[in-house]
Amino acid sequence: MFPEQGKRRLRIEVAPLLLLLSGTWLAANPCAAASNAAATAPEPTADVRSIEEARSSAMVVLDGHDLFRVVGVSGYPADERALGIGERLRAFARDESRPLNELRITRQERYTLIEAGADRIAAVHDVDALAEGINRDTLAEINLNRIQEAVQRYRAEREPAYLLRHGAYSLLATVLLLLGIAGIRWGERRIKRAIERRASRLLAHVEGKSKSLVRAQWLGAGLRTVVGTGATIMIFVAALLYLGFVLELFPWTWPLGKRLVALFVGPLTELGQGVLEALPGIAFLVVLFVIVRALLRFIRLAFTAVQSGSVQFEGFDPDWAEPTYKIVRLLVIIFALVVAYPYVPGSESQAFKGISIMVGVMFSLGSSSIISNLIAGYAMTYRRAFRRGDMIKVGDTVGRVIDVRLQVTHVRNMRNEEIIIPNSEILGSSVVNFSSLSREQGLFLSTTVGIGYEVPWRQVESMLLLAAERTQGVRRDPAPFVLEKSLGDFCVVYELYAAIDDPTNRLGMYAALHRSVLDVFNEYGVQIMTPAYEGDPEQPKVVPREQWYAAPARSSADTASPPSRSP
């Protein structure tokens, strides 16, 4: 219990500290900047008829501590009432010759006064009691007790022993701060030396793995920067804690220290409260994540079994397993996101909603071509237009499909060039698939020749079939056949059809078949009239057998073999 009266005390003036913190103290205590008239003018006793006359409320403050709240009355706003009461309390507390028992309550008809001797400190009106929801006299007793405690604390905190003790605390805190800063810097240097000494091999290994894209010295410098930044942050936090602690030790700077601590503790407290409030939602999100992940694994296993053929469904092509799995996975994820959205911390905030709207608008504006390609990719998959490894023709592009994605299809042509075709373009074009039917019956190649009318058609058919028979790679089943395509003005046009097994070597087989046709017709002395005929030449346009291998050609058993060119 603090002494209430009597002994003459030594007043300790801390002028340097007051000069240093005077501006900050005035900012933290706006009441001190008010005029002295508020400290001496008695509080008016306005005629208050109801609580509706109160315009606002304000807190009475003494030495940075909140005491009680007053409301505005007719002609006297709440902030002016609180300021005046606070200044009168401060004047009474400074006068240590006046004992606490001078404070008393005087009851009037329309208000209750709190006085100190002949000086009026505060008045409790009916509107104050109505605002607090209690009796006016009871509220006056409560306010009187708070005033007495505040004055007692005000005087005790300015005792020489109190100030000397707290000065010692501040000195000890200063020593601990300096030792802490020295320890943090010492630890920083030790960690940096350990990084240079022990992490050099690891950093060199990382540099080798990254093919020198990441330099070891860059990593080392980055780690040292992280350590230095961490040490600086620790020193900054320690200095803030020290400053708040020291400022709260003295009554003149206590409000500033309280505000300084609240400046950093407040956000941390709100963050902690937010985390605690979000824990049920976070727990739900964790459970939902585990369930969705297990479900996706089960779906993946099911579609993998379908793709491998171990599980079969009538009418469901195994090639559909992968794209169907992607669709099902996307639907499951979207459903999980819809369910999880209300439980995401901050999902109800305006900033979160604004970001969601912005992302949706950006996606809708920039995803038209992406969505069209995705739809085209799935449409081609379920239409079974082609699959990986097929030989296809899209527009002027002929090549083998090496990859089919949701957005584009990768095709490699005979020149070993990779051509990337958007799926929407493929969906809008006619696609020739040379491989889809060739797996069972082979791919038919066709070539035409023009032969004069003087050559029997039966001989021409036999020679064309012989040429197909001599061509390595031509299937015997189905057997090659010849059609008389047209009876032209100058020649009869014959078309030879021959099936091959490998459509990816289509151009090489055409070359081999044409070589065989030329050899057979030269062998039997029959002139090919294509491309045009104007008259019979003196000598037939055929190549004698003895000139078939004119230089630089060489006789070889592999001459008739098709080249092994496969895109």
H-type alpha helices, 3-135: 15-28, 37-40, 78-94, 126-132
Say whether both 529 and 490 belong to one domain: yes
Residue at a domain's end among 252, 271, 293: 252
**Residue 565 placed within a domain:** no
User: Could you tell me if 106 and 227 lie in one domain?
Assistant: no
- 405 and 446 in a single domain? The answer is no
Where is the domain boundary, 386, 406, 433? 433
Task: Judge if 180 and 103 occupy the same domain.
Answer: no
CATH of the domain at 464: 3.30.70.100
Residue range(s) defining the domain that contains residue 460: 438-533+541-547
Q: Does residue 319 sit within a domain?
A: no
Please indicate, yes or no, whether residues 139 and 171 belong to a single structural domain of this protein: no
Contact 423, 369 (CB under 8 A): no
3-class DSSP assignment, residue 400: strand
| Pair (23, 132) in one structural domain | yes
| Domain assignment of residue 220, yes or no | yes
Are residues 25 and 79 both part of a single domain?
yes
Residue 518 counted as domain residue: yes
Asked if residue 263 belongs to a domain, the reply is: no
Residue 181 within a domain: yes
Domain boundary among 115, 141, 158: 158
Q: Tally Cβ neighbours within 10 Å of residue 28.
A: 19
152, 19: one domain:
yes
Residues 27 and 110 in one domain: yes
Task: Determine, yes or no, domain membership for 103.
Answer: yes
Count of domains forming the chain:
4
The 8-class DSSP code of residue 73 comes to B
> What sign has the CA pseudo-torsion 505, 506, 508, 514?
positive
Q: Is the domain of 165 the same as that of 146?
A: no
> Same structural domain for residues 107 and 188?
no
Q: With 0.75 as the threshold, say if the pTM is over it.
A: no
Question: How many Cβ atoms from other residues are within 10 Å of residue 251's Cβ?
Answer: 19
The dihedral of CA 233, 235, 238, 242: what is its sign? negative
- Answer yes or no: is 401 within a domain: yes
Same-domain pairing of 387 and 447: no
- DSSP for 170-197 reads HHHHHHHHHHHHHHHHHHHHHHHHHHHH
Per-residue pLDDT of the chain (567 residues; tens, 9 = 90+): 333 333 333 333 333 333 333 433 343 444 343 334 344 444 544 444 444 444 478 888 887 788 888 887 766 788 888 888 888 888 888 888 888 888 888 888 888 888 888 888 888 888 888 888 888 888 888 888 888 888 888 888 888 888 898 889 889 999 999 999 999 999 988 888 877 776 666 655 655 555 444 555 666 677 778 888 888 888 988 888 888 888 888 888 777 777 776 777 677 677 777 778 778 888 888 999 999 999 999 998 888 888 787 777 776 777 777 778 888 888 899 899 888 888 887 666 676 667 777 777 666 665 566 666 666 666 666 666 777 888 888 888 888 888 877 678 888 888 888 888 887 777 777 888 887 777 777 888 999 999 888 888 899 999 999 999 999 989 888 899 999 999 888 888 999 999 988 887 888 899 999 999 999 999 888 888 765 656 666 766 666 777 777 655 566 544 444 444 445
Residue with tokens 């022990």: 198
Which amino acid, residue 94? R
